Amino acid sequence: MHRFHGAWRITVTLRDADFEQRAVVRGRYGTRVLPGTPGATLLVDEEDWTLSLEHLPTARTWQPDLRTTLGPLTRRGGRVSRLVTGNDCHQAGKPLDYVNFAVLLESLDQPRPATTPAITPAAAPLTRPVPARTPHTSPAPAGAPAPVRTSSDGHPLPAIPRQRPATGPHF
């Protein structure tokens, strides 16, 4: 199961399997199933959702594919896409990375226009290290109890108990 965010179009691009295949999307608004027919499409527009590839073995229930692989993100015409491939079972004589089901995900989120120029090292703002600050204390008048720690706006903070130095073994 793989997690995605935002609006995507899912299109079945390959089905070369003995078993039925499908892509299952689970999100806040429920579960949607995309049949494993090449060309079938499903639009998903949710903040957070998952995708799993499944197969239907003979006389059984739907099972997750044994191996699902996310391809790299690619950019075509300003849109981001990713191929997700699956293998429903391992068969003798076939390589472990054999693919028998694949879907293409295409982002439907609008690409952001480049309205601000890229920051070059010469134009980057310079910062300097800031030394660590010590806790603020209010001044104590003569004969008054120990100073009280205050926040930067003057409100008192909880007192920190002072530890007494060890003077030797205590029994």
* Model pLDDT for residues 88-112, shown as the tens digit of each residue: 877 777 777 788 999 999 999 865 5
Q: How far apart are CA 157 and CA 46, in angstroms?
A: 44
- Average pLDDT of 51-56? 94
* pLDDT at residue 158, as a whole number: 54
Q: Percent of the chain scored above 70 by pLDDT? A: 64
Whether 130 is covered by a domain: the verdict is no
Whether 54 is covered by a domain: the verdict is yes
Instruction: Output the CA torsion 69→2→51→94 (10° steps).
Output: 20
Diameter of the chain measured on Cα atoms: 90
Confidence grade of residue 37 (pLDDT, cut at 50, 70, 90): very high
pLDDT digit string, tens, across residues 11-33? 999 998 888 999 999 999 899 99
Whether 161 is covered by a domain: the verdict is no
CB count within 10 Å of CB 133 equals: 7
Query: Tokens 């600050």 correspond to what residue?
Result: 133
- Average pLDDT of 42-54? 95
Assigned token pair, 127: 């910062």
Distance of CA 4 to the CA centre of its chain: 8
Confidence grade of residue 42 (pLDDT, cut at 50, 70, 90): very high
CB within 8 A of 57, min separation 6: which ones? 19, 63, 88, 89
106: left (phi over 0), alpha (psi -120 to 50) or beta: beta
Whether 134 is covered by a domain: the verdict is no
Assigned token pair, 73: 């993100």
Distance of CA 143 to the CA centre of its chain: 58
DSSP line for 53-103: EEEE-TTS--EE-SEEEE---EEETTEEEEEEEEE----TTS-TT---EEE
Stronger pLDDT, 133 or 87, i.e. the higher one: 87
What is the CATH number for 87? 2.60.120.400
pTM over 0.75: no
Whether 8 is covered by a domain: the verdict is yes
Whether 164 is covered by a domain: the verdict is no
Contact 106, 4 (CB under 8 A): no
CB count within 10 Å of CB 107 equals: 19
Whether 59 is covered by a domain: the verdict is yes
Whether 160 is covered by a domain: the verdict is no
Q: Based on the structure, what is the number of domains in the chain? A: 1
Q: Which domain holds residue 69?
A: 2-107
